[in-house]
Structure 1
Amino acid sequence: MQKIVPRWEWRSFGRSFPAAESSLSRLTPSGVQETDEIYLLSGSGENVKVRGELMDVKVLRETSVDGPEQWTPVMKAAFPLSAADTAGVLGALHLPVPGSLRDSYTLDAFLAAFAGRDSAIRIARVHKRRVRYTIDGCMAELSDILVEGRSTRTIAVESEDAGAVVRAVAGLGLGDYLNVSYPRGLPALLDDEPERYAVIDVGTNSVKFNISARDSQGAWRTVADRAEVTRLGEGLSATGVIGDTPIERTVAAISGMVGEARRNGVRAIAAVGTAGLRIATNGAEVVSAIRARTGLQIEVISGEDEARLAYRATVAALGSTAGSLVVFDTGGGSSQFTFGHGTKIDERFSVDVGAARYTERFGLDGAVPQSKLGEAMAAISMDLARLDGRPAPDVLVGMGGAVTNLTAVMHGLATYDPRIVQGSVLVRTEVDRQIALYRSQGCDARRSIVGLQPNRAEVILAGACIVRTVMEKLGMASLTVSDRGLRHGVLVEKFGG
């Protein structure tokens, strides 16, 4: 056997990898190879396969904190296998070795003896077409594989240098994907497990979380979709800094979401940060703290990208509309506006108009006199001056926590139901009614209102005022509600749809 050289490996499975495939298409392949292999799977064993009439065994030695795994070849044995090699294979599969073994085993004899119908060993016959490239000193491999009639793709990066693997994976746009080796990826394919992906949206007021599964036709199905109010931007307007307590709340929420995503077997976790992290002078330090505590890298996106992704989510959910379309997404620290026709975007921008900002500035977390409300409305109107003088669109779509909570209250939803909220029509007179209701009540009283999420009681009045001002400036008596949001746009853009 040749000198054993442990290598750090990273791999993921999926129908497609748009960013990576685009990058690789600009390179010249260093080799193309087709093989037929037999993987032996036990649910908890090492990488054991038969290739080129050799029993090939690699064992996992170490997993880097950044994801790559170090695999070491320990066997490349020709058939017939000796009794010692047979025992080594069973040991690598974490299976007991019988008290007596034959002197040798052909491949057929080995499979008959240890991989029968009632055996703990599962056989996966795999046809691979592997295309290899060299990227920054690493070997990258894009493979089309066929397993017992099921097809998928897998992409891998290998090197003796773990850091080089991490950099190459990031350079290919695969930083959101989890490392999944063949012993873990093949059983999921054989069991027809749907491809699951997660998105975490770290906002100024809340952290939103979505897990969706994609079926064989490419359609998305929601597995989990929720939000936790962590008030990351608490005190941000006054100090320009995100404080330790909001960071702790947000890290705890993200950590729980990452754990839930992993338990659901997701292929990747994409995470984006919005206005709070854009604005805070210590935003980079907060991102680093989240990565250190959860292993998740937050991509802080621009307001323009936030608007574009929200628009994409809306069009994907509601379908193309005739005529002009305006989509706005109002959050805790900013609001995004996108103007378009169908799938075509004409203009997009973001403004620093968010519910958390005006709540802190005007004390809107409790009952306020009409004069104070008027001051807040005037400030919001001034800050939304970019909407002045625009023609009314054919369709106005609103999204975000303020819009969906106003809609849930309108419907009297004791339990939030996205099927009812999605596509609802919210009229301006209903927004006015709720503004009057919230203005007259403190937080505790607001929390008892059916349909209002208790943890949004502090910011709902400011959010309603923003929604009201947008409708007035665009000359719209009603808007269509989208329960979808930034996280759904990220899902479609990063993972296809």
Structure 2
Amino acid sequence: MPDDAAFSLPLACPTALPGDAAGRVLGWQPNPASGAYAALDLGTNNCRLLLGTPTYGSGPAGFRVIDSFSRIVRLGEGLGATGRLSEQAMDRALSALRSCARKLERRPVRAMQAVATEACRRAENGPAFLARVEAETGLRLRIISAREEAELAMESCAPLLEAGDRRALLFDIGGGSTEIAWIRILPGGRVPELIGTISVPVGVVTLSERCGPSCFTEAGFHAVVDEVADKLRGFDAVHCIGQEIRAGGVRLMGTSGTVTTLAGVAMALPRYRRLLVDGQVLESCVADQALGDLFALGRAGLAAHPCVGPERVDFVLPGCAVYAAIRQVWPVPRLTVADRGLREGILLRLMRLDRAAQRRPGRGFWPGCG
């Protein structure tokens, strides 16, 4: 985890008022008088924006959501075959990012972090695309490492830990990769310590493109499970995770559309509701049954299911195969479901670092723009 002094906030610094003759959005300026913070995450499948204000009580600091945006953009479509972001995918992502920029113009924020993950990490033209994003929207996105991605997910999920937890195994099944974090729980409510991470280059988009139709067959589904499990066993051996699980006190936590969908099915929700799902603890056998129910639905049934829908029908079973591999390698008896992740981690870190900066006389929170 980077220390407070090392953490920087890449802030867009527009040189003109929002909007120009070409209709471009020229970004935003930080407003220190605002109490709001913003986090933008451009992933392989989704573009998401979250704005929140801090809440302080007797427990860990949190935030209240004041606005959000989420759109499936499929930025990583075709990336596995070409190694490049396609023009159509970049256009979809730019359209979503323009919408985010307009929201930020309407809602002044004190600080923002805008990040890009696996698709831009892998793509040969990822940096060039982000330069185009800045030129056309004023938003400066930073490509983060898989480790930082895991750190931010860890920070967002830390409030779900409970007394008696010694370790946590956190997984995030993304569009282009799956991030696994092995975490040591520290006393006194301190931010947990990241012991180790692994980024497995399989996600719901990459698997859907490579072997999506076969995931609807039993043989194809189990082939993906075995492939992913093989990639995880080396990480397990290095950190003796299985041994720690047998000793007790290890919490398995999942943050992704896959696990929240499993929770929605297990809870028989008539429609997905984040407040009911976030923090839900499922017995592993219940999550396994939900996975079996999803598999049995087939394509048409998944498209009609209120917790899935037609936009996500191709991604659910590949994600379930990754989850099943995690369960195979690490048979923890319960799963904590987190409908939170990278954006929430960014907001919590921004707020934490801002509070720390305000307590240090003579130290400003705002880095120079440029």
Residue in 1 that maps onto 2:207:
358
2:51 counterpart of 1:203: no
- The answer to whether the Cα contact below 8 Å between 1:367 and 1:440 also exists between their aligned partners in 2 is no
* Structure exhibiting the larger radius of gyration computed from Cα positions: 1
Would you identify which runs of 4 or more consecutive aligned residues in structure 1 move more than 6 Å?
20-23
Distance 1:358 1:22, change over 3 A: closer
Name which of 251, 256, 276 aligns with 1:400: 256
**Residue matched to 2:29:** 178
Q: In the alignment, is the contact (CA less than 8 A) between 2:215 and 2:318 conserved in 1?
A: no
Superposition pairs of residues 50-449 of structure 1, within 5 angstroms: 66-68=13-15, 178-180=29-31, 195-215=35-55, 219-318=62-161, 322-342=165-185, 343-364=192-213, 368-389=216-237, 390-391=241-242, 392=245, 394-449=250-305
Q: Is the 8 A contact 1:195 1:215 kept in 2?
A: no
Q: Per the alignment, do residues 444 and 469 of structure 1 end up closer, same or farther by CA in structure 2, a change over 3 Å counting?
A: same
Q: Deviations over 1:176-207 (max 9, x none)?
A: 98244xxxx7xxx5xxxx61111111111112
SS at 2:139's partner residue? coil
| Residue aligning to 1:165 | none
8 Å CA contact retained: 1:406, 1:434 = yes
Match of 1:173 in 2: none
SS at match of 2:265: helix
Contact persistence 1:336–1:351 (CA under 8 A): yes
Residues 375 and 219 of structure 1: CA distance in aligned 2, closer, same or farther (over 3 Å): closer
Instruction: Report the TM-score, using the length of structure 1 for normalisation.
Output: 0.59
Once the two structures are superposed, what CA deviation does each residue of 1:78-115 show, in whole Å capped at 9, x if it has no partner? xxxxxxxxxxxxxxxxxxxxxxxxxxxxxxxxxxxxxx
Residues 418 and 368 of structure 1: is their aligned pair in 2 closer, same or farther, counting only changes over 3 Å? closer
Extract unaligned runs of 5+ from structure 2: 18-26, 186-191, 354-370
SS of the residue aligned with 1:204? coil
Deviation (angstroms), 1:21? 11
The Cα of 1:267 is off from its aligned counterpart by: 2.3
Q: Matched residues in 2 for 1:348 and 1:437: separation?
A: 31
- Asked if the contact 2:114/2:139 (under 8 Å) is kept, the reply is yes
> Relative contact order, CA 8 A, sep 6+: which one is greater?
2
CA distance in 1, matches of 2:52, 2:107: 10
Distance 1:280 1:363, change over 3 A: same
1:495 and 2:351 correspond:
yes
1:470 corresponds to which of 313, 326, 348: 326
Task: Look up the equivalent residue of 1:199 and give its one-letter code.
Answer: A
Q: Distance in 1 between matches of 2:102 and 2:52?
A: 15
Identity, in percent, stands at 27
Q: Distance in 1 between matches of 2:147 and 2:83?
A: 21
- Of residues 453, 458, 475, the one that matches 2:314 is 458
Partner of 1:304: helix, strand, or coil? helix
Give the 3 Å change call, closer, same or farther, for CA 368–214 of structure 1 in structure 2: closer
Distance (whole Å) between structure 2 residues aligned to residue 469 and residue 20 of structure 1: 36
Pairwise CA distance, 1:369: 2.3
Q: In structure 1, what residue type is equivalent to 2:127?
A: A
CA distance in 1, matches of 2:316, 2:332: 21
What does the per-residue CA deviation read over 1:443-476, in whole Å, with 9 as the maximum and x for residues that have no partner?
4431211222542211010111111211221121
Query: Offset of 1:383 from its aligned partner?
Result: 2.5
2:263–2:287 CA contact under 8 A, matched in 1: no
TM-aligned CA deviation for residue 353 of structure 1: 2.5
Does structure 1 conserve the Cα–Cα contact (< 8 Å) formed by 2:168 and 2:182?
Answer: yes
Q: Tell me the equivalent position of 1:85.
A: none
Match for residue 365 of structure 2?
none
The AA in structure 2 aligned to 1:372 is G
Distance (whole Å) between structure 1 residues aligned to residue 285 and residue 112 of structure 2: 40
* Higher strand proportion: 1
How far the C-alpha of 1:477 sits from its partner, in A, is 3.0
Question: C-alpha separation between the residues in 2 aligned to 1:238 and 1:219?
Answer: 41
Of residues 485-494 and 317-326 in structure 1, the stretch that sits farther from structure 2 once superposed is 317-326
TM-score by length of 2: 0.78
By how many angstroms is 1:299 displaced?
0.8
Considering fraction of residues, name the structure with more helix.
Answer: 2
Are the aligned partners of 2:176 and 2:205 in contact in 1 as well (CA < 8 Å)?
Answer: yes
CA spacing shift, 1:278–1:256, aligned 2, 3 Å: same
Aligned to 2:253, what secondary structure does the other structure show? strand
Q: Tell me, in whole angstroms, the C-alpha distance in 2 between the residues paired with 1:287 and 1:306.
A: 18
Distance change >3 Å, CA 262–CA 318, structure 1 → 2: farther
Gaps of 5+ in 1: 1-17, 24-64, 71-175
